[in-house]
Amino acid sequence: MNTVAILKSSEIRAMNQKELGSKLKDLRSELSRERAHVSSGTRPENPGRLRIIRRTIARILTITREEPKTAVKEEKATKKGAAVREVKKEAKKTTVKAKTRTKEAEAKTEKVSKKTATKKTTKATAVPAEKTKNVAKTAVKAKVADKKPVSSTEKPKAKK
């Protein structure tokens, strides 16, 4: 039986694209052979081999997709100059703007809270005399209604 060696990530990174393509093709063909053995009902020689082959294929594909991204990151990292400095300056400006906005918002909320506090007090004192008399009468009626007459059999409760 022809088995392809399982590759480590360091070995995969050392290979060029043609070698990776041929290894990937061999691994996929071996995976299909192993699956055919399992589906036919025979016992595979190494049952864990399917898992190892799948993971190796995934490792190869992942590393081949990583390479263009790392090249772009390296290119960006090597670029130093005005563009990078401008980005840093813009970040500083936005944080300063945000801080001033929050200070302004706090000042506005303080002003609004002071205004509402003064409005509430003026509204409470500006009630006409007729309404205050009616409120007082209803309060007295409510107190009288809450008190129940004590019957002769009940003992008065001690106040705590």
pLDDT digits (tens, 9 = 90+) for 33-59: 999 999 999 888 888 999 999 999 999
User: Do residues 63 and 27 both lie within one domain?
Assistant: yes
From CA 34, how far away is CA 30, in angstroms rounded? 6
State the pTM of this model.
0.43
Q: Is 80 helix (H, G, I), strand (E, B) or coil?
A: coil
Residue pair 12/20 in contact by the 8 Å Cβ criterion: yes
Whole domain around residue 103: which residue ranges? 82-121
pLDDT of residue 9: 87
Mean pLDDT for 122-146 is: 58
In this predicted structure, the answer to whether residue 81 has a pLDDT above a threshold of 70 is no
User: Do residues 33 and 49 both lie within one domain?
Assistant: yes
What is the number of structural domains in the chain? 2
Mean pLDDT for 109-121 is: 65
User: Do residues 102 and 71 both lie within one domain?
Assistant: no
137: in domain: no
Amino acid, single-letter form, for residue 133: K
- CB within 8 A of 64, min separation 6: which ones? 17, 20
**Of 150 and 14, the one with more pLDDT:** 14
**Of 160 and 38, the one with more pLDDT:** 38
Question: Hey, what are 88's tokens?
Answer: 């840093």
108: in domain: yes
User: Do residues 59 and 91 both lie within one domain?
Assistant: no
Confidence label for 137 from pLDDT (cuts 50, 70 and 90): low
Residue pair 23/7 in contact by the 8 Å Cβ criterion: yes
From CA 130, how far away is CA 134, in angstroms rounded? 6
User: Do residues 16 and 52 both lie within one domain?
Assistant: yes
143: in domain: no
Over 16-74, what HEC string results?
Answer: CHHHHHHHHHHHHHHHHHHHHHHHHCCCCCCCCHHHHHHHHHHHHHHHHHHHHHHHHHH
Mean pLDDT for 110-138 is: 60
From CA 26, how far away is CA 83, in angstroms rounded? 46
User: Do residues 87 and 67 both lie within one domain?
Assistant: no
Cα 103 to Cα 112, 115, 118, distances in angstroms: 14, 19, 23
105: in domain: yes
Task: Give the DSSP H/E element, type plus range, for residue 125.
Answer: helix 82-125
52: in domain: yes
Q: How many percent of the chain have pLDDT more than 70? A: 47
In this predicted structure, the answer to whether residue 91 has a pLDDT above a threshold of 60 is yes
